[in-house]
Structure 1
Amino acid sequence: MNRDTAARDARGRPLLPEAPAIHEVRLAVRAWLARHDVRSVAVGLSGGADSAALTAAAVAEAESVRAVVVDHRLQAGSAAVAARAADFARARGCASVEVVPVEVTGPGGLEAAARAVRYRALDETRDGLPVLLGHTLDDQAETVLLGLARGSGPRSIRGMADFDDPWGRPLLGVRSSVTRAACGELGYAPYEDAHNSDPRFTRVRLRTEVLPLLDEVLGGGVAPALARTAAQLREDGEVLDAAAAEALVAARAGGAGLGVASLEPVHPAVRRRALRRWLAELGASAPTDRTLRAVDDLIGHWRGQGPVAVGRGPGPGTRLVVSRRRGRLDAEFVDQQRCADD
C-alpha cells in the first residue's frame, strides 16, 4: 500500500511520499488542526479515496489517530472491504483501528438511513475525539445545489461547516481529483463504492451530470464558486445566529414562552432565526419556510390569527402548536384532531 515502508518518522510511522497531491491534503489537515487547536483525532475511514488520503495525512500531522471503519453491510463482500480499509489504517500507523458492522434501517430512504447509522456508529466509537470526515470541495458543491433545490434560504445553501463538533471536515477546499491522485502517490487502490455511481441517487446525478453540464455552460469553475458561496454565507449566518441568540435570551425574560414586545423591533431575518432555534429546542424538526413565516406573523403581522401547527408531537396524533396569548408566544403539544378543529 505504501511504496516506501522502510522510511519512518521519529514515532515509527511511515513517511508520506514527497508528492504534490498528498502534500496538498496534508497541508489542509495541518491547517485544520491548528485552526481548531486539536492534537488527536478519530477518522471515519471507508476505504475510498477521500477518506484514505485524509487518514494518511492525519497520521502524519496529528499526535494520534483512531480509525473507525463502518461496515454498512449493504453489499456482498462488505466485510472484506472494511478489513482492507482497516489494514490500510494499520499500515499507515493509526494508533487504533476499529471495524464497526451496522444494520442500516430508518426513515428517509437508503442514503439517508445509511448516513444516520454511520454517524451514530462514529459518535459511539470516537472515544471523545473529534471525528474527521473526508468531505471534499466537490461534496460541498453538491450540498449547495441540493440546498438550492430545497429553497429554504441561506441556511440551506451555506453547506457543511469545517467543524461542527464533533465532526471535522479538513478537505472542504480540496478537490476529489486530488485525493484520488494522493492515493496513487501512496500506492493505494481506493475502494470504488457502486452506490457512488448509481444514478438512482440524487448526489450521483449532480456529480456526474449536473456539475459537468454547468461547467460546460458557464466555462468551468462551478464547484469552487459554489464552495466559496457556501463559505461566505456561513460567515454571514454566524453573525445572524449570534444576534438571534441574543434576541431569544431577551424574549425569554418575564415568564414561559417568548415575549412579543421584545421580538417586535427585531429585524425579521434575525427574528425568524430566533424562532427557528426556539422551535428546535421544543422538538420541531426543520420547520419549513412557510411554517416559520406563519409563526413570525404572530409577532410582525398580528391580526388575531389562530394557532400555527409547526410539527409532529412525541405521540401518535399529536402536533406542536404555537399560539399568541396575552402578549407572549406559547407552544404546546395538542391532539391532531383538536388542531384540525381549531
Structure 2
Amino acid sequence: MAALAPPVAAIRVAVRRALTGLPSGGPVLVACSGGADSLALAAATVFVAPRLGRAAAFVTVDHGLQDGSAERAEAVANWARGAGFPSATVVRVEVAGRPGGPEAAAREARYEALTEAARQQNAVAVLTGHTRDDQAETVLLALARGAGPRGLAGMPARRDLAGVPLLRPLLEIGRAQTRAACAALGLSPWQDPHNTDPSYARSRVRADLLPALVRALGPGVVDNLARTARLVAADNAALDELAATALAAARCPGGGLSVPGLVGLVPAVRGRVLHSWARELGAAAGALSHRHVTALDALITDWRGQGPTDLPGGVRVLRRADRLTPVEPT
C-alpha cells in the first residue's frame, strides 16, 4: 500500500479538525472554484466527512466574468459528482452594477450565493479554501490601507454567514501544499487568470510584493504574517469583550451614551464602543471609517461646544450636557 502524500494528509487533518464539533443535521457545503486550494479542500472533505458520519455537498459559483465560465463551472461540478459528492450545484451570479471595485463586487456576489446555497441545502457549515498565503496577502493589503487591528487580524478561521458557520480549514496550510496535494491525487486545477491580472491589488501582492518579501526576509515571512493575524485576532476578541461591557454600562435611557461613562476608558476600548454604537444607530459598516469614530471621540475628549457629528447613512450624533444623543438629520 502506497504511503499517503504528506500534503494530502495535512489537508485531511485540517479538514477533520474543522468538522469536529459541528452540529448534526445537514451537510457541510464545500465552495470550490476549481483552483488548487479549493480543489484540494473538496477532495479532502469528500474523503473525511463520511468517515465522521457527515454528508458533504459541493457548490461552485460562476461569476460570468470570463468567456467559457459557464462550461468551466459545469466541468468542476461534474468532477465533484465523480469524486463522490452526492450534490454538486452551479450557482450563477451577476457581478456588474454592484458598488465597489470588481474584487469587492465579485466577493459580495459570491458570499450571497453561498448564503443562499447553504440555506437551500440546510448546510451546517460552508467551507472555503483560503490558505496561509491568502492570509498573508490579506494582512499586507490591510497594512497598505492603513487598517487598524480589525484589518490586520485578516480572515477568521470561523465566522457567521447568515446564521451558518463559514469555515476556513486551510489557514494553516500553504499554497504549495495544496498544489502538491492536487498533484499527488492526480487532480488538474484550473488556473484563474484573474489571479495574475495586475489590475487587481491582490494579484499584484501575490505576484510581486510577497515574493519580494520572501526574497528579502526569507520564506518564514508568509507564516509570520499569518501568525500576526492570529495574534491580533486574539487581542481583538479581548478588546471587543471589554468594549461590550463598557457599552452596556454607558447606555442612557432613550438611546444615548453617558460621557462620564466613556471619558475614562482607554482609547482602544472607547473607540470600539463608539464604533459599535454607531453601527447600532444605522451607520453602515463599510462606510464607517476611523475619521467618523475620531469625530465622535472628539465629542467626549475634545469638547468645545461643537455641533453634531455626521455619520454614514444620515446618522447624526450631538452632545447635550454629559450625554451623546442621536438626532434626526436636518
Q: TM-score, normalised by structure 2?
A: 0.90
Match among 90, 93, 106 for residue 114 of structure 1: 106
Question: 1:18 aligns to what?
Answer: 4
Q: Quick check: 2:243–2:269 contact (8 Å CA) kept in 1?
A: yes
Tell me how far 1:188 sits from its aligned partner.
1.1
CA offsets 1:130-189 (integer angstroms, 9 cap, x no match): 211111001100110111111132111110100002321111110111111111112110
Inter-partner Cα distance in structure 1 for 2:308 and 2:265: 22
Q: Which ranges of structure 2 fall in alignment gaps of 5 or more residues?
A: none
- Aligned structure 1 segments of 4 or more residues deviating by more than 6 angstroms: none
Secondary structure, aligned partner of 1:26: helix
Q: Is 1:27 equivalent to 2:13 in the alignment? A: yes
SS of alignment partner, residue 30 of structure 2: strand
| Matching residue within 53, 73, 83 for 1:92 | 83
Q: In the alignment, which residue of structure 2 is the partner of 1:167?
A: 166
- How far 1:125 moved relative to its partner? 0.9
Change (3 A) 1:38 1:205: farther
Secondary structure of 1:126's aligned partner? helix
Are the equivalent residues in 2 in contact too, given 1:45–1:68 (CA < 8 A)? yes
Q: CA deviation at 1:38?
A: 4.9
Structure 1 residue corresponding to 2:318, chosen from 323, 327, 331: 323
User: 1:56 aligns to what SS in structure 2?
Assistant: helix
Identity %: 49
Q: Show structure 1 runs of 5+ residues with no match.
A: 1-6, 8-15, 314-318, 336-342
One-letter amino acid of the structure 1 residue matched with residue 293 of structure 2: L
**RMSD, aligned α-carbons:** 1.8
> How far 1:327 moved relative to its partner?
2.0
SS at match of 2:303: coil
Does residue 156 (structure 1) correspond to residue 151 (structure 2)? The answer is: yes
Distance in 1 between residues matched to 2:170 and 2:320, nearest whole Å: 49
Q: How far did 1:71 drift? A: 0.8
2:303 counterpart residue number: 302
Q: TM-score, normalised by structure 1?
A: 0.87
Task: Please tell me whether the aligned partners of residues 31 and 59 of structure 2 are also in contact (alpha carbons under 8 angstroms).
Answer: yes
Partner of 2:243: 244
Describe the superposition over 1:196-245 as per-residue Cα deviations: whole angstroms up to 9, x where unpaired.
11111110110110011111111331111000000000001000001111
Distance of aligned partners of 1:76 and 1:85 in 2 relative to their CA distance in 1, 3 Å threshold: same
Cα distance in 2 for partners of 1:290, 1:220 equals 36
- Does residue 37 of the first structure (1) align with residue 22 of the second (2)? yes
- Size of the aligned set, in residue pairs, is 314
Provide the rounded CA distance (Å) in 2 between the counterparts of 1:149 and 1:186.
37
